[in-house]
Amino acid sequence: MRRIVSLLPFLASLLIFGTTHELIVRSFEKETIELALKPIYTPVEQTKAYLFTQTGHRVAKRRGEDSFFFDVSRTDWIIVEAFGKNSAGYPMRGSNPSFVTLSAYRQEPQIFLFTDPEKHVLYIGIKLPRSWQFTDCEFQNLRFKRFTFNDILYLYTSEKPKDGIHALTLNFQLPYGLKKTLKMDVFVFHGLVNLLRGSKAPMKVEPVPPYNHVVKPGETLWSIANMYGLRIADLELANGIEDGSFIVSGTVLKLARVHFDASLTSLVINISTGRLALYYNGVLVKVFPVAVGRSDMTPPGTYWIMKKEVDPALYWFGEYIPPRSPINGLGTRFFQLSNPTYGIHGTTKPWEIGKRISHGCIRMFNQDIETIDAFVDVGTKVVVVRNTEEFPTRWAF
């Protein structure tokens, strides 16, 4: 009988093999996962942990007070191997769960904002990755309701937000205890809300023969674009390049031409009256004064904003003129249009606004183009017209 009693703790450990430690995911950043292993017994020594992955066993990179940090790059799953010892001196092995897929931790939700300019309702659309759960939203203390449609969670409120730059915070619950918070800056203009500096409008990427190019020493995006009859912005957008000034030899670039079809934000420029109108979902938001090209140097037509730059440098006949230089006439912002000959930019000569003075570009007060830059998306449609009419309150784009 004594022998049987003494074996009970050991037999119990066998019965719960694989569930002697509760696995908790504390964080996941840059392919490093932080795991805590909570013993469901009375431990007499520190728990040890290893991982088995697609590429073999891995030991912890470092250990926290009660957690382990593991490199989980180059693997889609992990098997957690945990070891401890209980107060009776018996080994306690295993975790619950023991097998964890990593796809949920590597994904990000798709988030978009939309304001109904007539009903004054703000919508936040969230497409959640599988296994994610939305918990709450914080934005200017506004109260949100929610509904789900076509697998997209919508938060909405009819309370009007305050203009300016504000933080939007979204909280989520991921598998095995991980809490994730996403914070983003948004810009509110006349009660309309967009991500600060906008996002990218839906675009089509048209591959161009020979479809790929390996960057050679000394090449630039400008020289490569000219080689294939493309725009620098095509290469940047198609390859996800944020700053085309620095490309590394040996990089494989996708050759493609980018097209935009529709945009939530739009600009209409009247070269006869020297005015620019900002529209949101076809509704007029505000009108700004501009300087336009001499004579017919700014041709009417439809364009798209392909790139937005902060404090742009000026390249004038091969000469580099740094940002914010008194002789750099681009001001604090520059929008490259789909016809690379033309752009919309600020100015170092505000007294020229309202005149026909440029070589074809549209000039604005710096504070005005900074406001537009904070609000509109890359891919915004730009329509140039020539007439003497006032801007309509609605425009059918």
Pairing of strands 343-345, 362-363: parallel
Quick one: 309 and 338 in the same domain?
A: yes
**29 to each of 70, 75, 351, how far by Cα in Å?**
11, 15, 50
Cβ-defined contacts of 233-238 (< 8 Å, 24+): 233/258, 233/306, 233/307, 233/336, 233/340, 234/258, 234/306, 236/307, 237/200, 237/203, 237/205, 237/306, 237/378, 238/205
Phi, psi values for residue 374, rounded to 5°: -70, -20
pLDDT at 349: 85
pLDDT at 126: 98
Mean pLDDT for 336-344 is 94
Quick one: 97 and 112 in the same domain?
A: no
Quick one: 39 and 149 in the same domain?
A: no
Quick one: 63 and 21 in the same domain?
A: yes
In a domain, 390, yes or no: no
Mean residue pLDDT of the chain comes to 91
Q: What is the CATH number of the domain that holds 128?
A: 2.60.40
pLDDT of residue 100 exceeding 60, the answer is yes
Q: How confident is the model at residue 243 (pLDDT cuts 50, 70, 90)?
A: confident
Mean pLDDT for 356-381 is 92
Overall pTM surpassing 0.85 (yes/no): yes
Q: What type of residue is 393?
A: T
361 among known catalytic residues: yes
pLDDT at 317: 63
Considering the candidates 120, 259, 345, 359, report the single residue annotated as catalytic: 345
Over residues 155-188, the pLDDT tens digits come to 999 999 999 999 999 999 999 999 999 999 999 9
pLDDT of residue 9 exceeding 50, the answer is no
Quick one: 124 and 15 in the same domain?
A: no
pLDDT at 144: 98
Quick one: 98 and 184 in the same domain?
A: no
In a domain, 396, yes or no: no
pLDDT at 4: 42
Q: How confident is the model at residue 377 (pLDDT cuts 50, 70, 90)?
A: very high
Considering the candidates 21, 120, 213, 361, report the single residue annotated as catalytic: 361
Q: What is the CATH number of the domain that holds 240?
A: 3.10.350.10
d(CA 76, CA 176): 16
345 among known catalytic residues: yes
Q: Burial of 254 by CB count in 10 Å (0-12 exposed, 13-18 middle, 19+ buried)?
A: middle
pLDDT of residue 381 exceeding 70, the answer is yes
Quick one: 357 and 312 in the same domain?
A: yes
- The count of domains in the chain is 4
pLDDT at 5: 44
Give the start-end residues of each E strand in 338-390.
Answer: 343-345, 356-358, 362-363, 381-385
Q: Of the candidates 179, 195, 211, which is a domain's last residue?
A: 195
pLDDT of residue 1 exceeding 70, the answer is no
Q: Could you tell me the two tokens for 68?
A: 């382990």
pLDDT at 296: 67
Over residues 245-296, the pLDDT tens digits come to 788 999 999 999 999 988 999 999 999 999 999 999 999 999 999 998 776 6
Quick one: 100 and 111 in the same domain?
A: no
DSSP character at residue 128:
P
Show the domain range for 377.
265-385
Over residues 180-226, the pLDDT tens digits come to 999 999 999 999 999 999 999 999 999 999 999 999 999 999 999 99
pLDDT at 11: 41
Q: What is the CATH number of the domain that holds 308?
A: 2.40.440.10
